[in-house]
Amino acid sequence: MKHLLDPAILFFVLGLAAGLLRSNLEIPAPLSRFLSLYLLMALGLKGGFALAQSGWTVQVSAALVSALVLAVAVPAIAWCVLRRLLPPFDAAAVAATYGSVSAVTFVTASHLLEQQGTPAGGYMAAAMALMESPAIVLAVVMAHWLRAPASVAPIAVGSQAVMAGGPGIGPARVGSPLGPVLREALTDGGAVLLLGALLVGLLTGAQGEQAMHPFTVDLFKGLLAFFLLDMGLMTARSLPGLAGLGAQRLPLALFAVVGPVAHGLLALGLAKLAGLAAPEATLLAVLGASASYIAVPAVLRHAMPEARPALYVGLSLGVTFPFNLVLGIPLYGALARWWLG
């Protein structure tokens, strides 16, 4: 458990403790946004530089195909489980949240692999970008499908009554039109910046890597620690949202831990079939096991207002994110080394 003594992880613990103690410690929203954009840009550049050095290989293609398969399989599996526990819209929203990825978990895992002297291929940044949108698209399509058929009694959402849609249950004329929401999902600023930075790194190669070294290497550790401090504060703020779940709290909390581990094992199985090495398999498992708490919730608030944000944000940020950060990353790494060598 050496990674728990990493300064970045300890700053997350500090932020979590400060939030639980109701300290007035706070990271201004514009600074938090800057830090997230910095991490995506630095990660994209590192990936591009590494890809420029290695070139496009069969292994790169296999990793990207595995990522796409995972991006479709995870929300489908989560939906099959969650529809037995939750109303349709809540189940679809939580499934989409777990079908997408956490950039911060991925960045942290990448950093820890570098610290251990076993860095993964930079092309895994492209795998992360590919996995971000499919779950959002599936959720938007499912929301329109759930609203499609005949009629049902209205349920309250905010201050308005809407129809609780479902197969054969009735239309609900709520949410955003399909086209604009899909466009928002596919042109998300974080994904555009990540892929754009990866392209810049690929085009500039070794010369660009030397020029950007102070930005992508020297500053990275400190800014990651600062961002994880903010994530600790956010995690503490998300926990009260889980208090109102009543009898559902225990099975959903169990899903928020067991589900990601199962998704990580599925990712390791795909990595084995694809012939990936242990570091790349670790990152694929981290991607499969992570859940979105920024990009997907931002889209779902407009696309699926029938779902409860406290539920899908509370589970992903309040349970899964700290679990992955503290226990999940070393678990997936150990399993990858044991299984793939």
| Position 181 pLDDT exceeds 70 | no
Helix axes 295-303, 178-186, angle to 10 degrees: 170
Radius of gyration for the alpha carbons in the chain, expressed in angstroms and rounded:
20
- Note whether 157 and 305 are within 8 A (CB): yes
Closest CA to 256 of 114, 102, 140: 102
- Note whether 292 and 309 are within 8 A (CB): no
The label of the residue with tokens 């458990």 reads: 1
Write the pLDDT tens digit of every residue in 116-146: 889 888 888 888 888 877 887 787 777 778 7
Question: Which amino acid type is present at position 46?
Answer: K
| pLDDT reported for residue 168 | 35
d(CA 194, CA 124): 12
Write the pLDDT tens digit of every residue in 41-54: 888 888 888 788 87
- Note whether 306 and 174 are within 8 A (CB): yes
Sign of CA dihedral 18, 19, 23, 24: positive
| Position 159 pLDDT exceeds 70 | no
Give the domain ranges of the chain.
2-20+30-151+161-239+249-340
- Calculate mean pLDDT across residues 248-265: 92
6 alpha-carbon distance from chain centroid: 22
| Position 176 pLDDT exceeds 50 | yes
296 Cβ contact partners less than 8 Å away, ≥ 6 residues apart = 96, 97, 100, 135, 136, 139, 312
Mean per-residue pLDDT over the chain, rounded: 82
Beta strands in the chain (DSSP E): 154-157, 160-163
- Specify the CATH architecture of the domain 2-20+30-151+161-239+249-340: Up-down Bundle (1.20)
Confidence of residue 220 (pLDDT cuts 50, 70, 90): confident
Confidence of residue 240 (pLDDT cuts 50, 70, 90): confident
